[in-house]
Amino acid sequence: KAQDRPGSGFDESNPASVFPMMGRQVDVAALRNHVRDAAGNQISWNYTSHNNPYFTSLANDQNDDRTRMLGGLSATYAFTNMLQGTLRAGADHYTEHRRFDIAPGWMGGFPDFAGRGSFATGGFEGDDITATQSDVEASVRATPRGEFAFTLGAGRRGNTLGFTPTAFSDTLPAAPQFPTVTNSTDASTLYAFGGVQASLASWATLDASVRHESSSLGGASASELYPAVLATLDLTRARPEMRGMLLDALTVRAGWSRSGNDVLPAAAMAIAQRAPGVAYDQLVSPEVTSGYEVGASAGLFGSRLTADLSFYADRTENLLVPGALEFLRGGEISNHGIEVQAEVVPVRRSNIEWRVGGSFGQNANDVVRLPGVTTPENRITLPITAPIGGVTLAAREGSSFPQIIGTRFLRDASGALLLRNGLPLADSVTGPVTLGNTIPSWTGGVSSGLKIWGLDLSVLFDIRQGGQIFSASNRAGAYAGTLAETAFRPDSGLLIAGTDVATGKANTVHVSTQDYYHALGAIGERWVYDASFVKLREARATVDVPLHSIGLHAQRMRLSLIGRNLALWTNVPNIDPETVLSTSFIGGAELGQLPTTRSVGVQVTLTP
């Protein structure tokens, strides 16, 4: 059960999105103690469209509860010592009820199942959701010779989702509506697979498999074939003379595969809500990814140093591209990159061990093709979000995904700002351009662990370098004059460096701080930041207590103090750049971000 979950995104249902716009002189504690006046009217800091920030939690109700059952079984029968069969089955089912009640006096509207309603005089909505996933698979495995194994099998995977609005009204005391339409979607996949695993003299293995899937979605169907192959060579086993003081182990691998991604009922419902005209025939064919990976792992200096290196490249076709107002089939995107992991043990003694680890990853993606007609001179750009603050996220052919598209500063040929009446201008002639790339240049991590007798200390840092993010909160706070950066307000006004568009000479006009930041509100470039950060992801201290030594009937007890998200270093002001756009998978835009959670906990582990 959950009560009063906050909304997300730049919306009145998310109280956190209001704070950047709220005047610094507002007594927030007083608003908590005075939600309504004597006549029952809402008391707010702004009566045009913004609610008292405590109205959501103290006057409204938003509750949900879920009952979930899941289970599975597996059985294996050996027909002979070379042939065995396995049967697996499982199911995961839940029912969920959601209900929200909006109190009279609400401002700014509220999202509902039909889109958005007023709720100014109050309202409510109830929704029932049921979901089931079921899996069943049967396979046989034959090992006629020790170095060969063969597998054959078949199975079915099913998903069902139902959504029913049980009662609704966005205007009280009007009688509630009782929608009778239940949105229900079924998806299933029948599959058959076979494979062979071969080993040679314990130093070479080859796995080859093929899988045929027939997918069904709401009566429409499609099928695909997915082969895969992976080869591994243990070079130090093949050539024992390679082992020495420097090298302990060296393994290389290479593989190629083709895999698919079906549209599940939840995605199909979201698509139908945004683009009602989309048919299941357009959705049932899966996205297909083909790619290869090569890599190597090594141990050196008596396993004091271990390292793993891999390079991959893949291409995904038949992408389902989420446009701002529609969904389109037929996109294509490629990815390639490198991943490195290493660990070194500088100190290893009987009661002391110190480990240091590191990881590095670099991925480059490219939108190869988008649905539609294109020419080399006119690359397709498809907005995937509605504009906010003059900025959208978009997919653009020949660029990484997604791109931040919006208005930039108007500049002269030398790059100097062009001003009118002392204020910066948006480049309305060129129009929307690419303001940033949301993909980081690289990501990585650093970890360290120290064991001293019964004490174990460890830390983990996460690193992101490069990539950009648009911040709606910073834009709103600067426009409203609540952020610290707007505090410089000289009586003489601000003199912005640049060229006057009317005279072509250096600007001499002073402007107020308010007018300056209001002008910046129309220029998306100003609110795009470098999204690099370093975060102390986790710190842990663990102590071992040997309980048997004090007469208790247990081998040991481990007591751990664990902290997560403890510190953040970034040049992005006021927000955590490790964010997403609302609850979708698309990064690159911060819209009324809920505060990041820092947690500290205690864990006790007993070993009987």
Q: Per-residue pLDDT tens for 261-275?
A: 888 888 888 777 777
According to the model, what pLDDT value does residue 119 have?
92
Burial class (CB in 10 A: 0-12, 13-18, 19+), 595: exposed
Task: Please state which of the ranges 37-51, 372-386, 394-408 shows the lowest mean pLDDT.
Answer: 372-386
Distance CA 317, CA 331 (A): 6
pLDDT tens-place string over residues 131-177: 999 999 999 999 987 789 999 999 999 999 998 888 888 888 877 77
Q: 435 falls in which pLDDT band (50, 70, 90)?
A: very high
Q: What are the residues facing 247 on neighbouring strands? A: 300
Contacts of 174 (CB under 8 A, 6+ apart): none
Top-confidence range, 51-55, 93-97, 163-167, 319-323: 93-97
Is the confidence at residue 375, as pLDDT, over 50?
A: no
**How confident is the model over 447-451, as a mean pLDDT?**
95
- For residue 11, the tally of other CB atoms under 10 A from its CB is 18
Distance CA 274, CA 182 (A): 17
Q: 550 falls in which pLDDT band (50, 70, 90)?
A: low
- Identity of residue 107: M
According to the model, what pLDDT value does residue 513 have?
96
- Tell me the percentage of the chain whose pLDDT exceeds 70: 94
Is the confidence at residue 25, as pLDDT, over 60?
A: yes
Contacts of 187 (CB under 8 A, 6+ apart): 158, 159, 160, 215, 216, 217, 218, 262, 263, 264, 265, 268
Query: Phi and psi (nearest 5°) for 240?
Result: -55, -25
Is the confidence at residue 583, as pLDDT, over 70?
A: no
Task: Please state which of the ranges 25-29, 244-248, 515-519 shows the lowest mean pLDDT.
Answer: 244-248
**Residue linked to tokens 């964010």:** 579
Q: 244 falls in which pLDDT band (50, 70, 90)?
A: confident
- For residue 197, the tally of other CB atoms under 10 A from its CB is 17
Q: Which residue has the higher pLDDT, 181 or 402?
A: 402
pLDDT tens-place string over residues 188-199: 999 999 999 999
According to the model, what pLDDT value does residue 234 have?
92
Global confidence as pTM: 0.87
Task: Please state which of the ranges 327-336, 534-543, 562-571 shows the lowest mean pLDDT.
Answer: 327-336
Q: Which pair of tokens denotes residue 582?
A: 């609302």
Q: 450 falls in which pLDDT band (50, 70, 90)?
A: very high
Q: Which residue has the higher pLDDT, 97 or 303?
A: 97
Cα distances (Å, whole numbers) of residue 315 to 244, 284, 364, 369, 444: 41, 20, 12, 11, 24
**How confident is the model over 412-435, as a mean pLDDT?**
92
Is the confidence at residue 111, as pLDDT, over 90?
A: no
Distance CA 167, CA 123 (A): 10
According to the model, what pLDDT value does residue 579 have?
75
According to the model, what pLDDT value does residue 8 have?
81
According to the model, what pLDDT value does residue 565 have?
94
According to the model, what pLDDT value does residue 552 have?
64
Q: 180 falls in which pLDDT band (50, 70, 90)?
A: low
Is the confidence at residue 289, as pLDDT, over 60?
A: yes
Is the confidence at residue 330, as pLDDT, over 90?
A: no
pLDDT tens-place string over residues 192-243: 999 999 998 789 999 999 999 999 988 889 999 999 999 999 998 888 888 8
Task: Please state which of the ranges 320-324, 379-383, 489-493 shows the lowest mean pLDDT.
Answer: 320-324
